[in-house]
Each structure stands twice: as structure tokens, then as C-alpha cells.
Amino acid sequence: MRVPEFHGGSDPLVADKWKEDTDSALSYMGVDSIQRQCLAAYSLKGDAGIWYRSHFSAAERLTTSWEDFLQSFDSQFISSASRAGKEAELLALEQGDMSVDDYESKFISLSHFTDNMFQSEERKARMFERGLRPQIRRLVVSQRLRTLGDVVDSARALEIDFFFFFVPEDQGHYHQDCDTGSREKAGQEAISRRGTPTAESSTSDSTVALWA
């Protein structure tokens, strides 16, 4: 697996993604902490490479651990102001027109900057629930799920069910007698074409009965 390049910049999401991808790639190589730092350094290009060479002496590059490197990296590319901004963004995050999958991806990405915000897995699940669309949130909350994974799975299933029952056949290409696999495929196709269902689109009596 190839270690991704990092060129620096002011976007903490890019820096955090590089750390995550690099750590994942190097974990397969069976190297120790110092070797991991040395290998990761080869992927630092442009401004990031200049920072690395100026921050660590030639001797330090051969003795610095991955953990110590990350502390310096975070100080340079993920400032406290950027971290606070991402925390505020997470607190204000709502699903909106995103699919559940896209909302989960955004939620997890922002949560990397909020180590002290979530005191438990259940607290993380409650915050994710809070941002779900009202039609989905009401049914998910009623299940009293305790983990983020369970909440995401439930929300995803409800989103697919919504499209199965209420997307017109000429747009969803399915009917109520299709099997589970076809049903899920049809729902995902509809989601990708139209985005997450809006409250305004759920105006039929049957829709109100299901989502009320």
C-alpha cells in the first residue's frame, strides 16, 4: 500500500486525512515507531517537506518516534484555532440534503478534532441522532440505540425504506414485490439521483402515516 503525499496547507481535514491514511498504510509493513516516522517523511512534499527538514535536524530524523512526530505535525498543521473551528462545525452539523452515508462520513471526519467532546460512545450516538433529518430521527431515537454504528445502520435502513415505498416506480425502477437486494439497490440508486428525501416531498397521506 502506497503512503499518500502531503504538501502542507491550512486545511486541518487534509492534514488529518494524511495522518490516518499514512498510519493505515504503514501498519501493514510491520515497522517500528522510528521507522514509521522515517518512511512517512518521504511523502512530505512542498511546504510540508520544507517544514520537516527545518524542524528536525539530520540526527533527529533518525531518532524521532512516530508519536513525537505527530505532536509536532499537529502543532504545525492542525492549530488550536482550526480544531476549535471544526468542533463548532460538528456541533452545527445536520444531515440536510446529504445521504446518511455522506452525513456519517462528514460526522466522523469532524469528530477527529473533538477528542474531549465525546465522553462515551453513547454520547457520540446521541449527537449523530440530533443531526439526522426529522423523518428519520424520530424513528431512530425511539429505538434507544447505544452505539454510533447501530444508529447509522438504523438510519441507513430507514432511508432505503423511505425510497422503496415513496419514490415513483419510473424513477426508482422497483416495486413492492422485489427481493431485499433489489430493494436496497433501488433505494441507493434513488438516493444518488435525488439526494436525501425532503419533508416537502412527503406530502401523501400514507407518507404522513409512516413518518409521523
125-143 confidence digits (pLDDT tens): 999 999 999 999 999 999 9
Give the predicted TM-score (pTM) of the model: 0.54
Quick check: helix, strand or coil at residue 126? Answer: helix
In sequence order, what are the beta bridge partners of 6?
Answer: 44
Mean pLDDT over each residue of the chain, to the nearest integer:
79
- pLDDT for 174 equals 40
- pLDDT for 200 equals 40
43-52, 78-87, 134-143, 155-164: which has the minimum mean pLDDT?
78-87
Q: Which residue has the cell 427481493?
A: 179
Give burial (CB, 10 Å; 0-12/13-18/19+) of 132. buried
- pLDDT for 113 equals 77
- pLDDT for 78 equals 84
Say which residues have a Cβ less than 8 Å from residue 85's Cβ, sequence separation at least 6. Answer: none
Band of residue 98 on the pLDDT scale cut at 50, 70, 90: very high
- pLDDT for 163 equals 74
Nearest to 93 by CA among 138, 130, 126: 130
3-12, 38-47, 50-59, 123-132: which has the minimum mean pLDDT?
3-12
- pLDDT for 181 equals 52
| DSSP state letter for 28 | T
Q: Which residue has the cell 505527530?
A: 70
185-212: per-residue pLDDT in tens?
A: 544 554 454 444 444 443 333 333 333 3
> Does 171 have pLDDT greater than 60?
no
Q: Check the CA dihedral 100-101-104-105 and report its sign.
A: negative
CA dist 209 to 75, 135, 164, 204, Å? 52, 11, 15, 9
Q: Which element (helix H / strand E) includes 152?
A: helix 148-166
- pLDDT for 87 equals 84
Band of residue 80 on the pLDDT scale cut at 50, 70, 90: confident
Q: What percent of the chain has pLDDT over 90?
A: 47
17-21, 64-68, 110-114: which has the minimum mean pLDDT?
110-114
More confident residue, 89 or 203: 89
